[in-house]
Amino acid sequence: MAAPARARARVAGLRRRQDAAAARPWDGAPGRPGERRASDVVLDMGWGRLVFGHTFADQRGVLEALRAEESGRRDIACYVPNPQVLVGVSPHELFIDPSYTYRLPLHTYRQRRDAVRDVEVRTLQAREELDEVNRIYATAGMVQADVDVMWANQRTRTFTHLVALDQRTGRIIGAVTGVDHALAFRDPENGASLWCLAVDGQAAPPGTGEALVRRLAERYLARGRAYLDLSVLHSNTGAITLYRKLGFHLAPPVCVKRKNPINQPLYAPLPSGLDELNPYARIIADEALRRGLRVAVTDAASGEMRLHSGSRSVLTRESLSELTSAVAMSRCDDKRVTRRLLAGAGLAVARGAEVTGADPERLQGGALEAARALLAEVGDVVVKPARGEQGRGITVGAPTDEALVAAVRHALAYCPDVLVEERVEGEDLRVVVIDHEVVAAAVRRPAAVVGTGRDPVEELVRRQSRRRQQATGGESSIPLDATTAAVVREAGWSMDDVLPRGHVLPVRRTANLHTGGTIDDVTARLHPALGEAARAASRAIGIPVTGVDLLVPDVEGPAHVVIEANERPGLANHEPQPTAQRFVDLLFPETRRSPQR
């Protein structure tokens, strides 16, 4: 059966089961004295199934239910009586999850009088919103869900899917799921549970997670439920602090899971140094471990590690590996060489001029002759070091001779050779190409803040910078420097001004992620001509993994200019696209996963 047909059949079966449950002669109240709860209850959540262990007559049934787990999913057996006995029956298959169960007695819950600023929590309203929910799941390192299953669930009262919106931008920034135990299996204890709390670390205002938990608790309080349970990893101290603040306390139940590749970090010793890796290396290490590969961290600070499959091994540094030749790497390293190779392959590149061997203190005469001629012809230029990364030394916009001299002098502080290019307007598009195939595409935007109507620009920058640091493990932050102040001033504001509510103010010139830039996935919208240009660039350079940068007026149109190619693109920036999966496919094709059934 083809994959789409299997998916349709799966959802149709789910709906039949839900309809059958809804047709039972039962009013939805908790179990009455003498009334038996439903038996062998398993709920498909989309990302995996909840196996309610206390509804099974014996533990053999729980074991068989867990054995039916689908590849790429994470099933959870909860409320299992004597879980240690269940694990003891099949210790090679099962383990007790290293998480805590927290319970909120709803009769003790106290509502918050003031709403969380700028956050609206409401019920999921459209199937398309689940794509945003999956995006947030991916950035939080969670298993993504089957959208069809989640949408079918949403149409029943057993499940409650809530989303949080940033009222200033209208974007979905968080999600949570609730399960009503009374409706699911006639729970005599009249309880409910919370699953998959996730917020967008880049954009969610402070308090978003709290707002989601509170609203879910209030929904079940209004239904007359007795408690709200949740499971939280023992090391998630931030979440545990929030739950305790809201009145949750430790409860006895534990969860049991299968020893599958997704769960491996929870039951097997982690390689030494794994927790010290940055997000760009960690995403690759986690994917390798999921496939049963051995990971040896050789230098955590640089993201270097060796991946082993049997007797074969490959050394990697984030997305750079031994498969990238020194020649290919040098072609990316020198932007002048990159530009010549791309132009020679017939690709559209910005007009440019080179400044070589200039004395920063004597930028007169012939040193800038070609650059000045280019400026006179095009009216505005971008100046960048010929070698460099993370946006260091780049000036976007030098429309005068004075600005050109200052920009070249700035670039020379980072590299003795400078490239001056025509400034081309358009969106900053990064296309990730692995094995000469497009895997992901995203528009990168300069760091920006959103006005609250209360806070000055400087405070907004500090807050957004903290969010970016937390979301990227310290890899991204917005510098509070002269450049930020200048960009704000050029937009007609000062750092002390209070931005109107909802006003979006860019605070950096470049879209570099290391200086707080953000990234929006556009893979599904990418015009075929842009994808072909990125593939052609990877072939011209002869590089197996690259991030090709283009300037485009519209990602859905063919017009473009290729700017450069990066030999070590940050794969973690492009979730939920399968960048890490395709990278490990390239390194170890024998571990490539077969299509999910």
**In this structure, which amino acid lies at residue 1?**
M
The H or E element that residue 160 is part of is: strand 159-166
Taking residues 98-122, report their average pLDDT: 90
**In this structure, which amino acid lies at residue 462?**
R
- CB of 274 within 8 A of CB of 284? no
Q: How confident is the model at residue 595 (pLDDT cuts 50, 70, 90)?
A: very low
Taking residues 12-37, report their average pLDDT: 46
More confident residue, 359 or 536: 536
More confident residue, 67 or 425: 67
Q: How confident is the model at residue 361 (pLDDT cuts 50, 70, 90)?
A: low
Taking residues 486-499, report their average pLDDT: 90
More confident residue, 192 or 350: 192
Does residue 19 carry a pLDDT above 90?
A: no
More confident residue, 226 or 487: 226
The pLDDT of residue 474: 73
The pLDDT of residue 243: 96
Q: How confident is the model at residue 10 (pLDDT cuts 50, 70, 90)?
A: low
Per-residue pLDDT of 310-319, as tens digits, reads: 889 999 999 9
Domain architecture of the chain: domains with CATH = 270-324+585-591 (no CATH), 351-422 (3.30.1490.20), 449-508 (no CATH)
Per-residue pLDDT of 375-407, as tens digits, reads: 988 889 989 898 877 678 888 888 888 888 888
Packing angle, helices 147-154 and 3-22, rounded to 10: 20
- CB of 179 within 8 A of CB of 240? no
Helix, strand, coil in percent for the chain, rounding step 5: 35, 25, 40
Joined together, the tokens standing for residue 278 give: 């940055």
More confident residue, 224 or 115: 224
Does residue 78 carry a pLDDT above 90?
A: yes
The C-alpha torsion from 299 through 301 and 302 to 305, rounded to 10°, is 30
| Burial class of residue 392 (count of CB atoms within 10 Å of its CB; 0-12, 13-18, 19+) | middle
The pLDDT of residue 597: 35
Q: How many CA atoms does the CB half-sphere of 315 hold within 13 Å? A: 7
- Best mean pLDDT range from 108-112, 343-347, 409-413, 470-474: 343-347
Per-residue pLDDT of 159-213, as tens digits, reads: 999 999 998 888 999 999 999 999 999 999 999 999 999 999 877 888 899 999 9
Taking residues 421-444, report their average pLDDT: 94
- CB of 86 within 8 A of CB of 77? yes
Count the neighbouring beta carbons within 10 Å of the beta carbon of residue 405. 19
**In this structure, which amino acid lies at residue 16?**
R
Q: How confident is the model at residue 23 (pLDDT cuts 50, 70, 90)?
A: very low
Percent of the chain with pLDDT strictly greater than 90? 58
The pLDDT of residue 192: 98
Q: Where are the beta strands (DSSP E) in 266-410?
A: 294-299, 304-309, 312-317, 320-321, 352-356, 381-385, 395-396
Q: How confident is the model at residue 96 (pLDDT cuts 50, 70, 90)?
A: very high
Supply the DSSP string of 176-230, one letter for each residue: EEEEEHHHHH--TT-EEEEEEEEE-TTTPPTTHHHHHHHHHHHHHHHTT--EEEE
The pLDDT of residue 36: 64
Q: 385, 386, 389, 383: which is closest to 407 by C-alpha?
A: 383
- CB of 422 within 8 A of CB of 439? no
Count the neighbouring beta carbons within 10 Å of the beta carbon of residue 363. 17
In angstroms, the CA 138 to CA 130 distance is 12
In angstroms, the CA 40 to CA 566 distance is 53
Does residue 370 carry a pLDDT above 60?
A: yes
pTM: 0.72
In angstroms, the CA 577 to CA 580 distance is 9
In angstroms, the CA 142 to CA 120 distance is 23
The pLDDT of residue 283: 93
Whether the bond between 576 and the residue before it is cis, its omega within 30 degrees of 0, is yes
Supply the DSSP string of 322-333, one letter for each residue: TTS-HHHHHHHH
